[in-house]
A = this chain, B = another copy of it.
Amino acid sequence: MKYMPVLVVNMMEGRTDDQKRSLVENVTNAVCESLKCESHKVKIIINEMPGNGYAIGGKLMQDTDEKYKKR
């Protein structure tokens, strides 16, 4: 059965490679478990957003969250 899921994960930048490894492994397993597809069919694109690349309620994250303030 060809399900071909292609996922895009938009998340704030700053995660370690190990966190990304855990993310893609866990999300791939979750997709395979739910859709009964083979893991090598699952593709994941990670799009990292900087503090001035994501806004909620009209405010940039770098202006509302200390963690993403511009250094």
> Which residues from chain A sit less than 8 Å from chain B, CB to CB?
1-12, 15, 17, 19-31, 33-35, 39-49, 52-63, 65, 67, 70
Copy total for this chain: 6
Among the listed B15, B26, B35, which residue makes an inter-chain contact with A33, where contact means beta carbons less than 8 Å apart? Answer: B26
Find out whether the CB atom of A28 lies under 8 angstroms from the CB atom of B11. Answer: no
> Which single residue of chain B is at the shortest CB-CB distance from A8?
B8
Bound complex: CA A29 to CA B27 (Å): 9
| 11 contacting pairs across A/B (C-beta < 8 A) | A2-B12, A4-B54, A5-B9, A7-B9, A17-B60, A20-B52, A25-B59, A26-B33, A43-B55, A45-B47, A45-B54
**Across the interface, which residues of B come within 8 angstroms of A22, CB to CB?**
33-34
